[in-house]
Amino acid sequence: MVIRPSRVLVLLVFLVAACGGEPVASPGTTTTTSPPAPTTTSTSTSFPVEVEVESVPDDRPIFQGLSAMTVPEGTTLVAMASGEVEVYESPGDTTPIHVLPAETILGTVTVLSIVQGPIDGWAEVLLPVRPNDATGWIDTSEMSMFVVEGRVVINLSERSLIYFENEEVVLETAIAIGTNRNPTPTGSFFVTDTVTLADPNSPWGPHAFGLSARSDTITEYNGGDGIIGIHGTNRPSSVGQAASLGCIRLPNDVITQLHERIPIGTPVEIVA
């Protein structure tokens, strides 16, 4: 069965850690070669965005009976919420360690990237919470599943992003990354939101992706939990530099191309 998405445009605030420029450091913050302890950084600056809320991204069919081990090579199985999602430490537990909302702070349906299972109705998933790379187990009986064919690999030392589909390189680009004070975190993540900015000349450019990644140094930005994103920029000269608060900046023409191809749930691997 194929469920076709209904799109709704709503005006919200994109809450990410690394958008404009460097914030004023909190008292006691120092520049080190390893990530400092998280601090709270706030700003009154905010930018409205138009968010495309989808029931299923890009007309992808809903699958039942698949597992992370049986999907085709180069693809990822993604679980989609129909309500709040209770997350457990182990299969069969009765007390959740997290309860995730049915929607993200941007109004996108909550999806979770499956890394193991489902096995007997339970799946291990990546979580959009601290600490980065956290996983947990969900009961999939109330979840729908779909398959994502692409993946993103970000190499911080090379300051590059490569997007693959079916294990073939579709796009490669130079990027801007976080500074030493506010580095881009490494790990395995996934796309939680895909948005279009009301002002394409904003610090985030025309489009942005919210990730399950969280900043190691910023615990609050515009009210959000230091969410790391991939977005465009109104400072194209910063591409190729360590210039952001942790987010990945792309040329605006490139983020536009990716926005047309990448659905929520797409895995994003960030390596040093």
Measured distance CA(266)–CA(262) in Å, rounded: 7
Secondary structure element (H or E) that encloses residue 231, with its range = strand 227-231
Of 57-66, 178-187, 210-219, the least confident = 57-66
Percentage of the chain beyond pLDDT 70 is 75
Q: What is the pLDDT of residues 67-123, one digit of tens each?
A: 887 888 889 999 999 999 999 999 999 999 999 999 998 889 999 999 999 999 999
Q: Is pLDDT above 70 for 11?
A: no
Measured distance CA(184)–CA(258) in Å, rounded: 20
Neighbours of 36 (CB within 10 A): 18
Of 7-16, 72-81, 184-193, the least confident = 7-16
Measured distance CA(82)–CA(93) in Å, rounded: 21
Candidates 94, 99, 106, 140; CA nearest to 120 is: 140
pLDDT value at residue 71: 87
Label residue 28 exposed, middle or buried (CB < 10 Å: 0-12, 13-18, 19+). exposed
Higher pLDDT among residues 58 and 256, named by residue: 256
Tell me the whole-structure pTM to 2 decimals: 0.82
Measured distance CA(171)–CA(153) in Å, rounded: 11
What are residue 160's DSSP bridge partners? 155, 174
Candidates 108, 133, 112; CA nearest to 122 is: 112
